[in-house]
Structure 1
């Protein structure tokens, strides 16, 4: 009988992103956790990195990554469920009373599937199926055509895992999962991108004329429109805006190449041939093979990691399609679909998954 070389055996590892049907209670746990100080004015991120590392190591051992946020919180990524459980029980961090909770968005990922066979199934029935098969999907939303009630065979799935799988089994059918790319988030107060109006501290800026002091059409007393972002002859909400197109391209690069927002922005603003150039984005106003994708907002964080790996790694880059949302803020939107290499590994439901030690 032939024996497997130990070195070769170590190289034979399954792609965890392909095995969304192989999850258990030990593999579906919050991998990203926030540590916040209970006392007002205290910031955990302002502590010495040496103290932070020693405290975390004493509680859970070696963390996958640690990152201070501008809010003063500490974002910790863990390897195992036991680490998450221990960290959630933490009440004091270097003599500071703290509250630990799972991050609201980083522990989830959104993907798009196309399955004509589900045309007669409701969203609730599809979600119930996934739950019965122990597939970590928390939401199923069928995409509707803009301005109509016509249902499509395209669905947006919210996975309760941070890394988007390449495929998912629906009954006996394997459906490829493509990354859902949200639209740029524009503040309705200052009209800039990257934050919500609830968090904005800037002065109110008019969406139409670009001047400060008002934010409604009735108060505009000038002829024509002026975008406060690109200075073009249009409102800030227009999809003809060069700034909007640039922000959308940053999001596309970020989600398809699994890199941080600052890195994605540098790629778009550079001459990197691996990414679609900003100039080529602004040349065409429409995309071919469009489908409708409802808007999802995203908050851009521009914090640099203190130590450890870059976080958050949201998804793999080996997807068959990229879905680009094409509307600015609310309601339905058009999405451009570009074909990429097809994933090679099929997924079988309810097979045993072993977490690497």
Structure 2
């Protein structure tokens, strides 16, 4: 078992009416001006209404910053960060999916002219926190509200890159199922599978430890029992709340452990082809886990026992296979593409994908089974 550490947001609220804690948070921090991060999708969906109502109850002025595209490049993230610097806010509230939360986290450590987003890509250790943050996720998947990571696209490398610094961990998090109730099925499915990947990868990572195991296993159990109904049934609030908590737990597991080859090989798909992060993870999850299975069979079997109960009629290999089979079943049920054909990716793209994926050593080093270029090539071929 690897050395473990546990770093989490300072305070997390969940349950019905959790959003009503916003005025309390602002008051206890004596906030004078708020930078409210969102995007046009969040705004158009009406998801800002309750957070803004609670901000207005506090009497604290705010400026809405929502000019952020999905899956932003580091230049686009920098643009919103610069807008934040100009308003001289002393507190950041972020309402949205992973891209919004990640950009807000970057802004919290970029209230300075000493470095910018590009500099953090080269050296994340430069980051120093200047502004407290409150994260309110509107999806159940990225876990960004719990992690010290900010993911941005780097077009010149045709890759997504993670900036990781513990100073970006949120000070406050609010998990309120009302914020995810109206998620379209496709978004709920893709982000939910992202959380599933986080849980499975962190549990089968070289960096897995007693802390990450605790959160990864509970996240996995919740997701396997809740994700289908949470996506299929708009009124399934109990399952949606369970997915929201599972996403947070999986984010905590990332902070303590780390994702592996699924995420490493998916980053080029987002960076070059702009495939949604959760979709690219879903396409690669089962193929990578089948590749990894010989090296993490015992762990997958233990996960099976935790999630479904010990079955004396199944041996370790059968439990491991059943776990991967259940993952494949969920991806099929949620109608996520099984390959890359509809995204315009062809065999001509194979070698650039392999080169880019093999460059994500930060995550490949976590993989229990070493991944060679030929291994990556074989995995990509399965989904082309």
Structure with more of its chain in helix, by fraction: 2
Do these two structures clear the TM 0.5 threshold for a shared fold by scoring above it? no
Structure with a larger share of its residues in strand: 1
Q: What TM-score, normalized by structure 2, do the two folds share?
A: 0.25
- State the structure with more CA Rg: 1
Taking structure 1 as the reference length, the TM-score comes to 0.27
Higher relative contact order (CA 8 A, sep 6+): 1
